[in-house]
Amino acid sequence: MRCVVFSLIRIALAAALAMLASAAPAETYPARPIRLLISFPPGGASDLIARTLGAPLSARLGQPIVVENRPGSNGNLAGELAARAAPDGYTLLLGPSSLLAVNPHLYARMAFDPLKELLPVASLVLNELILAVNPALAVKSFQDFIALARAARPPLFYASIGNGSEHHLAMEFLKQQAGIDLVHVPYRGGGPAAIGVMAGDVAAMFGGGSVAPLIQSGKLRGLAVTGQRRSQLLPELPPIAEFYPGYEVTIWQGLFVPIGTPPAIVQRLRDDMGAVLAQPDIAEKLAVAGSGEPYVTTPSDFLARIRSDYARYGKLIKDAGLAVD
């Protein structure tokens, strides 16, 4: 009998210790620095977003946020590193919409499944693209550009920040909607693409908010935006949807962690990031940097957006016959 009692006591103690051990990470989190992986090089929109949001998030968590740039394969490299990391809340990913909604359709082989191996924590930032051309091009408006593209023989060349990027897909979508032909010239990032347009090597590009200063200074000419309403940065530019209803290409960034991260840690990150996005100066800092605007949704709405974009870009990529080995 005594042995049975001792055995029961040992079992109870073991269970209690197990419960304490499982609860400890949530109770003590975070106890050391956290790394934030981003998919693009320093200086771009993603890098600016990470540093704009990382500092106030670090202050709330009480631990340093170490931004780690891991560019490559349109976000696949950083995404895989995040998916393979320990699910303990110490590796976060600033995940671009292209990683989850575009890459699974575009790449014949991916080392991981972002939809199954990454857990959405919170939506962060929403941005639109700007159609910009070389100022020497004989167009003054979006309608002029479409007319020129229809008449051009050989077709006009356009730049993107890389194969499969949403900048690339935005022009492919426009080609479908407007019935025009353009030749794609991929560059390694937004800076080189803008230089190519300014030099006259290519006629046009879709760029993020970072091209706004080039438009304002006259080095590029802005024609239209890809959102559903006029841009805060360049309110004189019309949305393409005014001419082609249903046209929209918006880029979002979200916070992700590896699948299996404890719910308490996910909720802590979600709550603290929500508080960061609600700070009055954050929207202004993002706008000044040309990085978009705060994008705050519920977890269910964010998941629905991911699934909707996944389906929409899948159809566009299939119709355009795009693929990357």
Architecture of domain 34-127+251-320: 3-Layer(aba) Sandwich (3.40)
Is pLDDT above 70 for 20? no
Nearest in space to 102 (alpha carbons), one of 292, 242, 309, 249 = 309
Is pLDDT above 80 for 95? yes
pLDDT digits (tens, 9 = 90+) for 245-265: 999 999 999 999 999 999 999
Share of the chain above pLDDT 70, in %: 91
Question: What local confidence, expressed as pLDDT, does residue 40 receive?
Answer: 81
Give pTM, 2 decimals. 0.83
At residue 27 the predicted structure's pLDDT band, cuts being 50, 70 and 90, is low
pLDDT digits (tens, 9 = 90+) for 117-154: 999 999 999 999 999 999 999 999 999 999 999 999 99
Is pLDDT above 60 for 6? no
Question: What local confidence, expressed as pLDDT, does residue 251 receive?
Answer: 92
Structure tokens that stand for 282 in this block: 């954050």
Give one word for 279, left, alpha or beta, with left for phi > 0 and alpha for psi -120 to 50. beta
Is pLDDT above 60 for 236? yes
At residue 304 the predicted structure's pLDDT band, cuts being 50, 70 and 90, is very high
Nearest in space to 208 (alpha carbons), one of 248, 167, 236 = 167
Structure tokens that stand for 241 in this block: 């949807």
pLDDT digits (tens, 9 = 90+) for 79-91: 999 999 999 999 9
- Name, in order, each residue with C-beta under 8 angstroms of 252's C-beta and a sequence gap of 6 or more: 96, 97, 123, 124, 125, 126, 127, 295, 305
Report the Cα 164 to chain-centroid distance in Å: 13
Region 293-298: mean pLDDT is 95
- Compute the distance between CA of residue 129 and CA of residue 150 in angstroms, rounded to an integer: 22
User: Which carries the bigger pLDDT value, residue 165 or residue 221?
Assistant: 221
Superfamily of domain 130-242: Periplasmic binding protein-like II (3.40.190.10)
pLDDT digits (tens, 9 = 90+) for 174-204: 999 999 999 999 987 788 899 999 999 999 9
The arrangement of strands across the sheet holding 91-96 comes to 65-69, 34-38, 91-96, 250-258, 118-128, 293-294
What DSSP string runs through 64-110?
-EEEEE---GGGHHHHHHHHHS-SSSSEEEEEEHIIIIIHHHHBS--
Domain extent listing, the chain? 34-127+251-320, 130-242
Beta-bridge mates of residue 96: 253
- Strands 182-186 and 118-128, sheet pairing: unpaired
